[in-house]
Chains A and B, each alone.
Chain A
Amino acid sequence: MTTPKPPVQAEVLRIAALARLVLSDAEAEAMTPELAEILAHVAKLEEVDVTGVEATAHAVGFATPLRDDVSRPGLDLERALANAPERIGDGFGVPKILE
């Protein structure tokens, strides 16, 4: 398969929104050609024949280790909430979720 065309500015903004990032016009304008240049370099990988090659997710392959299912102490409530931008009682406060 061939590498897709690099994204235009509107697409960069759409992708950023998927990542929950809002970019200013200046940021999007600067980023669009930078991404195009990087993706043009990355297109080199098209030259490589990867037929029948398995993917590597981790280089040193260990099976996910299992431990006994016993409860043990974790981070206590006060320390877990100490960095919260907003605390409500014993929980994290968040802005309105449903309009």
Chain B
Amino acid sequence: MSRALWTLAVLLSHWRRHPMQLATLLVGLISATALWSGVQALNQQARASYDRAAATLGGARTAMLVGRDGESFSQHFFVDLRRAGWPVSPVVEGRIRIDGRSVRLLGIEPLSLPVEASSAPAIGTKGLQGFLLPPGQTLLAPETLAELKLSEGATPTTANGINLPPLTLQSQLAPGVLVVDIGAAQRLLEMPDRISRLLVGRAGKGTRAPLQTVTGDQLRLVEPDAETDLERLTDSFHLNLTAFGLLSFLVGLFIVNSAIGLAFEQRRPMLRTLRACGASARMLNTVMVLELTALALLAGLIGLVCGYVIAATLLPDVAASLRGLYGAQIPGELSLRPQWWFAGIAISVIGALAAASTSLLKAIRLPILIAAQPYAWQQAQHRWLLAQGAAALAVFAAGLGFLLFGDSLLSGFAVLAAILLGAALGLPAILGLVLFLGERTTRQPLARWFWADSRLQLSGLSLALMALLLALGVNVGVGTMVESFSRTFNGWLDGRLAAEIYLNAASDTQAAEIKAWLRPRPEVQAILPRGRAEVQIGGLPVEVIGFADHLTYRDNWPLLQSAAEVWDRVARGDGALVSEQLARRLNLRLGDRIEVPTGAGRWPLDVVAIYADYGNPKGQISVGFDALVAHFPGSAQTAFGLRVAPAQVPALVTALRDRFKLDNRSLADRSALKAESKRIFNRTFAVTAALNAFTLGIAGVALLTSLLTLSNSRLPQLAPLWAIGITRRRLALIELMKTLSVALITALLALPLGLLVAWCLIAVVNVKAFGWRLPFEIFPLQLLQLLGVAMLASLLAALPPILKLMRMQPAKLVKVFADER
């Protein structure tokens, strides 16, 4: 035992002499653990809040009975089904306006609410009687209360003049929803004796009569989903985050790998001495594993703390992204479960051991006396390059297969993964080939040595270069995608926001008053009413928008595809514009027919155009305003746009604001709306940009540590050149050139790789994840910039070992001939 302790002490002394190396190792482990656990924490937080939302909805996790067309139905079905043995519970759902803000209202019946779908236990502790008996309660999450800027116990008035039951905090509730008793909900939503859906409990009450015999064909059963709509929608986002986390983790392990490789290289004489002194290979190995585990535990803990900080910093952006993209509500405060800590520590230790495995294996097999065998080594490397190249080809082939035959988001990500993995695996072979060609084209001895020695260095550098390739490729890919999106989005915004002022009145009465006030004003060129109704088509939530027939739309609205006489047909009321997402989900083409369920039956519409509707999680159909009002008499008609001479906009906005007490949410001019939209857009991609920068930074550190490792073990190669008369300065310059040239080749290879990644993101992943396809554009300036950053990172990484070489004492170079190998 004491022998093992002494061995450990000897091994540890190495770190005392090389604190930078220890720092590198720890930085690698910490960054790997931090990013991975940070991303996990974000995903966990989001998933937990989806669960919370699903539980409140009693939605996707519970089987449901819904109306044939997704419309509300008579309450007597509830009683009929209960009497026929069905464990059903009624739910009424709708939106109400409080102080100009639209909020989701859920009416539940706590006594029959299925245990598995309910927040009833929570209600129970607060006193069911308080919830049921007048004045009742409006349950809401603290976030919602803050958003409404109200205090507990308040009884706000809705747009239709009815007071809500007193607001009561219920922290288990999902944000963005108000929960009241079903009776109160029916009153607030003006849906007397109607219910939106019936939750079907799992607990059987004995036999139940067949659904048909109880409700005829009025209701249909929707089986519970394994995952909620939100989870399905946001899967891509989380997969994306996870992919970034994994990439950073792997790059971090590259650092660990090269740091441990370096330590091993430097401790080789020490190990030999210890072995010669009688320490067994097994004991040496055990002690090294223990040493590594201890370091990994330490780094894992620090990494977890950093991960927490990263997650907490990114959370607001992630929450903004998810809200912007999917309408998902994520609370802004991070809460972590103990499993997260254990998983983080475990992944740090496992990662460290995996990264160290090659070095440890070498240590096991370490002969006490070893001779340098450069030629045999080169032969082995050749075979290794060939094998890796073959693996790269196989991975590419698999990726092509996924592209051709896959039709899901997952297959899209599989294509991406195959492209990245294949490129990484193929990199050493390609570099080897380029260097081999370089060697063939030169005659001059020193130049030949330059190429040949670069090839020799390849195996030591290849992992770091792979990291660089991946980081750069992903940066190029994501950068191109975001830039493409950004340009398309801006152009689209300009077209869609054609009116100068946008208004949203608090009620139909106020809307009428505002219109009456506006009509005589000379600066108002046109009032463009906008109506809105919500329906379900094919199980998807779809908003139906009614817009006025006006030149504003005819001239400006950018359509992706359109049939002849689009605007006339829409104005006539038999044609509809369909959003790209909806068209993809329902597989609609121009000329197809779509049936919109209305209160009075189905409304058949021809698809006359398809338009982009970026950032909307719901499907959308746009029809003529008059047609919408005719088919949805009760739809909200409080929104409208105004055409005003640009110079008069500020004055009119001020006048409207003062006259009708409208706030920023209900009244905005075009520039403010555009700025807000762009702000949301940028925030959505802030997370991506941050993770991008992290990854590139880690790749730079990986390159640095690899070069440090190499510079030490390469003295025997350099000393002979020095001995035959090449100055240290010249030698250093050659070394720098070598590093920069392989880095440059790698960076150049990363450009096409990145574009391929961008294409895959735009043409495959985006389409599957969001339902929209963007035009693919290349931004040369952005590529040059990234190339510059990569070369700068390589230069910075290459400098420390080069400077060390330049300042190396000649005696040390001479010593190479005296000892070692």
**Are chains A and B native binding partners rather than an unrelated pairing?**
no
Q: What is the interface of chain A, defined by CB distance below 8 A to chain B?
A: none
